[in-house]
Structure 1
Amino acid sequence: MNLENPSQENVTYMLNEITAKLKMVNASVFENLTLESIHYESLVDIYTVIHRKKTISLREMQLFAEELRTIRK
């Protein structure tokens, strides 16, 4: 998947992957996020870091969750 080109499909894909990797119980918090309502580059950055990590500690999960709050415009 080419994440360089912003699209709603890419947003949905990254959010699904992030919630799965972070084992987020309340993934519904991302339901209304659209390409127009977020900072796309920030989401790509967060996704890239999370995707590269083999394991994620509880503290890192918390930090990533906090960072995800900042992607809204």
Structure 2
Amino acid sequence: MEVANLDEPTQENVQYMIEAIKTKLRMATGAAMQASHFSVERYGEIRELYEIVSGKNKFSISEVEALVTELGQLRSKA
């Protein structure tokens, strides 16, 4: 999926960032973290998490757990 401008708070960009985070963290429970569960209203926080994840090549187990916890807190309460 090609995203031209992550400065635009769109659902497509949310989806792109969530998928990139899941891929980078190699989340075994990635199916539970569907991009549709995240709202554009939390765009800034999702982008911040995306930039943290994108900027690192390796993560400790505790870092992955913390990032996954943060993702869980950003999910929409449906």
Q: Above 0.5 in TM-score?
A: yes
**TM-score, scaled to structure 2:** 0.80
Query: Gapped runs of 5+ residues in structure 2?
Result: none
- Relative contact order, higher structure (CA 8 A, sep 6+): 1
After TM superposition, where is structure 1 displaced by more than 6 Å over at least 4 residues in a row? none
Deviations 1:20-49 (A, max 9, x none): 11010111222232435x511110000000
**TM-score, scaled to structure 1:** 0.84
Secondary structure, counterpart of 2:37 in structure 1: coil
Task: State the percentage of identical aligned residues.
Answer: 29
Structure 1 residues 28 and 44 mapped into 2: Cα distance closer, same or farther (>3 Å)? same
CA RMSD, 1 decimal: 1.6
Q: Distance in 1 between matches of 2:38 and 2:51?
A: 19
Q: How many residues are treated as equivalent by the alignment?
A: 72
The equivalent of 2:57 in structure 1 is 54
Q: Distance in 2 between matches of 1:24 and 1:16?
A: 10
Query: Gapped runs of 5+ residues in structure 1?
Result: none
The alpha carbon displacement at 1:72 in A equals 3.0
